[in-house]
Chain A
Amino acid sequence: MGEKRIVYMDHSATTYVRSEVLAAMIPYYSEFFGNPSSIYSIARASKKAIDTAREQVAKALGAEPDEIYFTSGGSESDNWAIKGVAFANRKKGNHIITSKIEHHAVLHTCQYLEKEGFTVTYLPVDQYGLVDPGELEKAITDKTILITIMYANNEIGTIEPITELGAIARRHKIYFHTDAVQVIGNLPVDVKTQNIDLLSLSAHKFYGPKGVGVLYIKKGVKIDNLIHGGGQERRRRAGTENIAGIVGLGKAIELATADIEGHNRKIRVLRDRLMKEILVKIPHSRLNGHPEKRLVGNINISFEFIEGESMLLWLDDEGICASTGSACTSGSLEPSHVLLATGLPVEISHGSLRLTLGDVNTEADVDFVLEVLPKVVSRLRDMSPLYQKSGKEGGCDVQ
């Protein structure tokens, strides 16, 4: 018996660590383990490595090295950006604008601030998940101190008009933060031309290690600290540096942004074929998100009459790793807030499947999913009382 074949299509959840990245990290666990704040030579080596990583990140974002702050990941960066700006600018105003489809690291932080006396506007999105720049402009008041809109959505892959939104913020002299966790390596970023004041990213989404991220803070932005303690990160973020992680992040972002178009070309071909053929082969399926303005590896499709978790269990049984917007896997009983915000009916939101392709995927993987998925969907539909009731048995292919 051969080993079970694993087809990994959950790259938006996390990625493996590239071997070059891992190789770059290892010396900083064993040889150069010194605390960068110490004075001896092995500590100087770790300090130098952090400086190099900072330059690598700055280059990838079009920023200056001293605008890059290492954190423990995307959630910390989002928390710091939002709470930090909110508390530091309290005297100016107490209003924050965000969208309904943000990651929970943004949404729950905003909800926390509401309890602390801030008011938050959650902008709606259209059926594709797009924020309307006109709606943003309308929501701005003289109390608005921060606008935080994600660069691209993690569930449906929709790419927001960040440059336009940033320009509006700039015109009104309001700080603009974007959660770009899904974007690095998939879309070019230039914080200067895109009018971005703060940006969050996380290494494990672009073939780097988990537990390390960045908050870009434009020079001059008024922001409080989130983590108090020692004087690391130019007194802005306390805690002994995760040296190996930071080195890995630096190497990973350098590799991920070296040839974005080349990387995208390969994945786009696979993604487009998989997406198109699923929609053709499986009746009563619909694409969630925007047909074109979507992250290159992202597919999000709802299948009527079935529930997402049971679909994932069967796919897992076949070795396919995917995710769903159904309630049943999230630990709550509500389906995805993102799908609901696009106006998808609740019952259809339960039957959504997200496949996110990445560097490891091949034509053979696409063929395999196309062979397995229709069988899984039809097996579950056969036992679904909804399928029968709808009078759609036998599947009149409407695609």
Chain B
Amino acid sequence: MYSDKVMDHFKNPRNVGEIENPDGVGEVGNPVCGDIMKIFLKIENNIVTDAKFKTFGCGAAIASSSMATELVRGKTLEEAWEVSNRAVAEALEGLPPIKMHCSVLAEEGIHKAINDYRKKHSLPEWEEKNPHSHDHEEDLTCQH
């Protein structure tokens, strides 16, 4: 049911773990729904120099966290903010429809970590452009 890319990122997840003294942390999800992602970012001169994650969840949740942290590394904060759930899913060569919410969680986790950094630096938090629209047509996100 999963692409080879998803299985690769599930079995050999990149960037697992925590960053000591992170500049931004974002935790999203809910154990009741079966997935939680915690994203840690190291940010220097507006560049994401390191990204790590810890995830409780299914294969797609782990692979999405791995891919999302890969995608934002080396990017400016503005570029990292633009990494969408669709970009994460596409980089994974697709996710089953019922697992799309895993890529949504990854995007939200990155956003939350970036805003955590901005808050700490007294910068205005960025707003989600389309709050919830990225939950895409079939909104299968856990309602708990």
Where the two chains meet, the residues of A that have a C-beta atom closer than 8 Å to any C-beta of B are 305-307, 309-310, 313-314, 317, 326-328, 331, 333, 335, 346-347, 350, 382-388
* Assembly CA distance A349 to B75 (angstroms): 38
Q: Of B35, B54, B140, which contacts A388 at CB under 8 A?
A: B54
Binding site for A on B (CB under 8 A): 2, 7, 10-11, 13, 16-17, 27, 31-38, 53-62, 98-99, 140, 142, 144
Q: Which of A310, A335, A346, A382 contacts B57 (CB 8 A)?
A: A310
How many inter-chain residue pairs (CB < 8 Å) link A and B?
71
Residues of chain B contacted by A388 (CB below 8 angstroms): 54
Assembled-state Cα–Cα distance A388/B55 (Å): 11
A350 contacts which chain B residues (CB < 8 A)? Answer: 31, 34
Could you list 23 A-B pairs, sorted by A, with CB under 8 Å?
A305-B56, A307-B56, A309-B59, A310-B57, A310-B59, A310-B61, A310-B62, A313-B2, A317-B11, A328-B34, A328-B58, A347-B31, A350-B31, A350-B34, A382-B16, A383-B13, A383-B16, A383-B17, A383-B53, A383-B62, A384-B55, A386-B36, A386-B56
Known: A309-B59, A331-B98, A333-B33. 8 other contacts (CB 8 A): A310-B62, A313-B2, A313-B59, A328-B34, A383-B13, A383-B54, A384-B54, A385-B55
Which residues from chain B contact A333 at a C-beta distance below 8 Å?
33-34, 98, 140, 142
Give chain B's interface secondary structure class.
mixed
Closest residue on chain A to residue B36 by CB atoms: A385
Which residues of A lie under 8 Å from residue B56 when comparing CB positions? 305-307, 384-387
Given contacts A317-B11, A346-B144, whether A307 and B35 have CB atoms under 8 Å apart is: yes
| Secondary structure of the A contact surface, majority rule | helix
Return the contact of A385 from the options B38, B98, B140 (Cβ within 8 A). Answer: B38
Whole-angstrom distance between the alpha carbons of A67 and B140 in the complex? Answer: 45
CA gap between A317 and B10 in the complex, in Å? 11
Which of B32, B58, B99 lies in contact with A346, CB distance below 8 A?
B32
Residues of A within 8 A of B11 (CB): 314, 317
Q: Which residue of A lies closest to B6 (CB)?
A: A313
The CA-CA distance from A335 to B56 in the complex, in Å, is 15
Complex alpha-carbon distance, A81 and B60, angstroms: 40
Q: Are B27 and A335 within 8 A (Cβ)?
A: no
Residues of A within 8 A of B33 (CB): 327, 333
Q: Nearest residue in A to B31 (C-beta to C-beta)?
A: A347
Nearest A residue to B27 via CB reads A385
